[in-house]
Structure formats: structure tokens, C-alpha cells
Structure 1
Amino acid sequence: MSPLDQAEYASLERFRVHQAAAWAVQSAHVARRSEFYRELWQGQTPPADLRDLPDLPLSDKAQLRVSQADHPPFGNYMAAPRRDAVRLHRTSGTTGQAMNLALSARDCAVTETVGGRCQSAAGLTPEDTVVHCLNYQMWMGGLTDHMTLQATGAMVVPFGVGSTELLVRTIQEVGITAISCTPSYPSVLERVIAEKFPGLRPRDLGLRLGLFGGEAGLDDPAFRARLRDVWGMEPRNANYGVSDVFCNFAAQCTQDTRLHYMAADVLYPELIDPDTGAPLPLEAGQTGELVLTHLLRDCQPLVRFRSGDIIAVDETAPCTCGRTGFRFRVVGRSDDMVVVRGLNLFPTMVAAVINEFVELSGDYRITLDAPPPYDALPVCVELAKGQGASDGLADAIASEIKAKLGATARVKIVPHGTFPLTEGKTKRVVRSHK
């Protein structure tokens, strides 16, 4: 079994036939080789029909952490001989203990194929030279994302993180046309350009395309508009993934800013109620937690794995670009959700309000120094360069948060440059309480 050719354009009928055949092979592989799932299923046989997957229990990251701690280094959900693994990655550990990720040669090839679909949809072409600015030190976002960029035919510059002055010079000297990085990284570059390259504007670098992933923020029109204005490049949400599952399986196209699901031939999606685990229909207008099942995975196959991401499904009909995957937005992570007097709030919602204020840099933190419940949202916002905090600015921000989100906020304003420069993922919700 292999991925479908041109799967992003395949019909629902073609997917159903392929998925059924792939699941027949994959479910037998998991049942035979994964001790973890045999124990979890307690004698249950995986259903023949994917529509009956909710008969099986859910699995989650906490269980995988225990599995790797008890059965190092790969956990007892490793379903292939160690000699079959040709690459080892490690998750970023943003939400807890870093995990070891083993991939076979076929796992690597499938990952690169799916990720290449995403980068191509976002506009990267063989005519481009793209600089990749994510951490290469074991993180899936480094080498593996590099290979998805390369799968488009583009020339890829494996830059990584750090040495930002050298990056600016490299972009100038090589004629780089696109950058792959987190949404927060351009602000890091802007500070370095302002300090080290007098008279140079970000748009003078000539980048035409920004390929972003790893953090939220791209759903905010104000954030996109700022990137276009400052950099002169088109921002694209090109890299949505879950490291334990696939590094990249959804991206926007050139005609729609919402994420297109690109992996239905190798990854089966479900929606559940994040509180109860009950299945929800995957249809337009539905919001729920994304649950994923590998249809093709050798080393560490996952079945009904809770991603922790809350998504809103906007469209299930084909896009005007011809791609047939459902289109969705990431509302936030379930572990980043803050409940304030019964309101479920996510960092992306707060960011959308903050980005309306030109006095602010757009960087912020939500610091929770006590356990819930919360009667107000503590938000620390940073001033834009050259801006001072006018009387009443904090109250104006709090009023806007109240009007837009319905929650009371305690707003603190800090000078520009207070928050550290972050070249990797930026953690917006900080839980400092025990």
C-alpha cells in the first residue's frame, strides 16, 4: 500500500475505496505488532469499517509518555523492528516531556510526500529558493520539514535557527525568494535588521513568500496585513501538523486562507467533544478536537490519537483550487484553553484583539500564577517600537477584550523588547502555579 497519486484532488469515492484497503492492512499490522494497542483494546478487534472506529478507545499523549518511560526509547507502541527505523526525531516538548519519534524509510517517504503537497499548495515552486529557519537539532520541524520543502522541487537552504545577521546577508547574497519559519520569527528578524543593518527595510530583502507553521496567528487578517506591509511578501499558512502523527498534513492554498486537509489517503480524521470524548460529525460548522488514525505507518502507528487541537470545520465541499480535503481553522490547543467565568478562551482569540492596537508589538503572554477557576484573564502586552503607553491604553485593551470576547481582562503593558527573542515556538500561555 502506498499514498494515492495526486490525493489532494481525489474524489470522496476514490478515498473511501483506498482508505478501506489501507485500513485492512494497517489494522492487522497494529493488532499484530503493537503491544500498546493490544493492551488498550483489551481483546477488542479493530473494526473492519473505519466508520466504526469510535468503538475503540481513544489514545493520547499522556499514554505515549508513560509508554516511552516504561519501554525506552520508543515505547511499546513501536510496531516495527528497531533495524527498520532509519531516522530518529524528538518532539519539541512545548507541552511536556519530549518524545522519541522513529521512522522507517517508508514512513519518511510518505511524510515527505504529504508535506510536499502542503508546501506546493501554499505556492512554493521549483523556481523558488527557500530558506528554512526551524531548529534542525532532532526536532521534526527541521530536517523532515526541509524534505517536504525539497519535495516541491524548490532549492532549500538549510539555515536553522541562530546567526540572524548571517541569515539577512544570505538572503541578500543568494537571492532567496521564500522563507519557512514560525509566525513569530519575522519580528525577531525585524529587530536585528533595525539594530544591525541601518537603512535596510525588511521588504528590501525581496522575499515574495512566507511559509509559516508551528504556531497560531495566521488566521488573523491584521497579522497577515502587517506581514504584507512590512515585508512585501505573501504570508501562507503552509505547515500544520502534529509531530507524533505527521509533521505537516494541512496547509492553505493560494485562493483560500483556511487550512486544507491533505492526508486523507494515509491519515483518517475524526472529531470528538474534547470534554466527553463523544464522536462529532465532521461537517461544516462543527467544532471539536481533532483525532487521527494512521492508515499507513510502520514504526509508531497511532489509532484514535487525540491531537489536543480544537478545530473549526468551515467547508467540506471542494475548494476552487480543486483540492477536495475539508477546510478548517485551528481554534487553539485544549491545554492552552483558559476558562474565565465559563467562557472558553484561546490565545488566538486574544491575539486578534491585541493586533488591532497599533501601539502594541503584537507579542503578549497570558500568565496564570494560580490554579483555576479564573474570574479575569491576566494579559501582559508589549509596546511597539518607539511607542509609549498612553493614559488609558490598558483600559482600552481590556474594554476591547470584554467587548469582543466577553471576558474581563487585567492588562499589564510592558516596554518594547521585554519579551525574549524566540526563534522556535513561542509559548503564549504560561502556567506558573504548581
Structure 2
Amino acid sequence: MASPLADKLRPRALEDVVGQSHLLAPGQVLRSIIEGGTIPNMIFYGPSGVGKTTVANIIANKAGKKLYRLNGTTASTADIKEIVSQLDTFEGRNGVVLYLDEIQYLNKKQQQNLLEFIENGSITLIASTTENPYFYVYNAVLSRCTVFEFKPVEPPEVQRAVERAFRVCAEEYPGLTVEDGVAEHISFSCGGDVRKALNAVEMLVLSAVSSSEVPVATLQAAKEVSQRSSNRYDRDGDVHYDLLSALQKSIRGSDENAALHYLARLLDSGDLISPCRRILVCASEDIGLAYPMAVVVVKTCIDAAMQLGLPEARIPLAEAVILLCTAPKSNSANVAIDAALADVRKGKYGDVPPHLKDGHYGGANKLGRAIGYKYPHDFGGWVEQQYLPDELRDRVYYHFGQNKTEQAALAYRHQQRAPKPEQK
């Protein structure tokens, strides 16, 4: 069975790797480590198709140690024990390098089996993962490794790999021609995934060769074989939370264009519920008392979106996002409740003042409940009396925000509590 084009073109030297210049450019830490020849325990973290396995292979090939490969999706405890058993053999006398792909799929016990040998240097671990290792890798393993983050490859860098792939294909299929714009389109449509781009090249070439004696890779065909969108998304992964975080921070920062961009990426992936929840949170957390009606309007937009479903849901959600971006901002309510919760969690709550306790039962007066309570409406809406427990009587949680609505409320507060003639 013929190897996929992506495997045939897998770089064998660092100079052939596209992208990851922040790691592999001359003078960068990872490049220096590789060239230095001493291999520490490492974890490569990043999305699929960006060179993690390629770089790991290059490093492993440079090592003067026995190389073993495991994949976390299929590896068992027995596989790990078999590798450990090789440490006492002639081949393992200098230690071994274990390249462990998709380490996040190993359970805690499997990862623990490696600890002793990683720590004493018998096994050098080079692991790769598409998931955040700080969430999915056992802490004891993580603390013994250096994490390097791989990023999606930029389109110009992907295009280098795509053009190289077409040159290789042209050698195999003489007469193959490629229309202008094909390489660029594939490079931009792969979402920074070089493997995806090379797979698209392979499909395009095979289609052209099978359909004509004079094979031509056309732009129209490239659009058909390329995946629909470059949008990376995983509802359970980092990208999901990164997009939601970017959406909220863009709303908070009053940048409606950025917020609409992140909303579009979430909706384009088919996720409707997550952005709805986050937008509703923003209405209270970030706009809050500066525009109290925002949460009412946003809730209405979200209800409409949920009833409509996609694609029409995009319209009321866009309204909600633009409204929140252009509205005045206040987090005073959020700060206030967090401050109150902090006191409660520290055990600072005290007893409810007696005059505030429930007095609607027989014997309440004998217990001193509700005695001395002043009914504010009998005093024009406000009367001075203590509401907080004695231990917290002077505590201030809420501070009026510097926006029109809250400043109007503050002015009313001052007016309400100003001494009245009859109270002098």
C-alpha cells in the first residue's frame, strides 16, 4: 500500500520543517537543544499537522540511544513495561528514547510507570499532544519535562510545503500542470495544518490524473477537495475556550468587529449554545449596572436565536453582541458579589442583627426577634439603621461605577440620605 503524500514528504532535517520559527529558528531554545545533542524530556503541545511528530522524529534520529515509539491511543501498560525491560539489555545500555505520541490518552497509572525511569535518565521522553498538557498530563510527569508549544503554520509557510508537493507529484506524473492560485488557495484553506494541505494536494492530483490524459490541477477542483473552512474547533479542547474567552474580552473591550469575528467562528463550527451562554454572562458581568436593561435585551435575542436555530440565529446574536460592545461598561456588581463571597468563605459573616430577624411567629418577642426594626417606608423610603452583622458593620462591597446610570443612582442615594428638616 502506497504511503500518503504527507508521509513521503515528511522532513528529515530541521531546515525542511515549515513554520515553528519561534522554536526552530537559529538561536531559539529548542533548536539549540537539538543541535547540542543532549536531549531532555520534552512535551510538544499543539494542534494536528503542525510538525510535532516530524520534529520529534528528527530529534530521535539524532540521539545515540535506542528509539521506541508508542501511541497513547493504543499503548498498554505491558508495552511500557516491555520498553523498561530493555534497559537491562545490551541495546539499552545507554538508555532509550521513547517517542510517545498522543500522551494525553495514557491513564494516570500508565504515566506513573514511566516516572522512575524518566527521573533517573534511563528513559528520555519525547511526547506530543494536541491537548493542553497542564490539564491532561500527570503533574509528576509534567514537572520532569519541558513543554514546547507548536502553533498553526502561517499560509506562506504552508505554501512552501504545498509547492514542494506539487513538484514531487509532477515528477511522478509527467505533464501535470497546476493553475495559478491553487497552491495559495490550499494554503489558506487548511487552517495552518500542513498535513491537511498535503492531503488536499494528493486528492487534487489523483483526481486530475484519473480524469484526463493531460492532468491539470484546477482552482475549481482545489476548492472542491479542500476542506470547507480553515476554522479550527474542538468543543472539548483549548480552541473552544480560547474562542469564548476572546469573544468575551472583545465585548468587554468594546470591539464589536473582533467580537463578531469570534462569534462567527463559533457559529461556523455549529456551536450555538456556548456563545449564547457567554454573551448572556457578558450582559451582567461586563455591562451590568451601566445599562441594566442589557441583560433583558440580550436574553430576548438569545431566546430568539434558540428558537430560530442556525443559520438564522446568527442575526439576533449579532444584535446582542453589537449592543453589548457599544454599551457602557461596569463590573461593579461582579466585584461587589465576589468581595462579599470572599468574606463569607473566610468565615466572616457573624450573626444577623436581632432587629432584622424573623418575628412572624409566637414567642419571637421573648427571644428579642425583630424588636426595634424601622420600616423604611414609614420614613419616606430610607431610615438609618444597621443591616450588616456587627463584625462587618462598616464593610463596603459595592462601589458605584463611573457611568451615567450608576452615578445617577449615587446622586439619588445622596439625596435620599440627606438630612431632612423634620429630622434635624
**TM-score when scaled to structure 2?**
0.29
- Structure showing greater radius of gyration is 2
The answer to which structure, 1 or 2, has the higher relative contact order (CA under 8 A, 6+ apart) is 1
- The structure with the greater share of residues assigned to helix is 2
**TM-score when scaled to structure 1?**
0.29
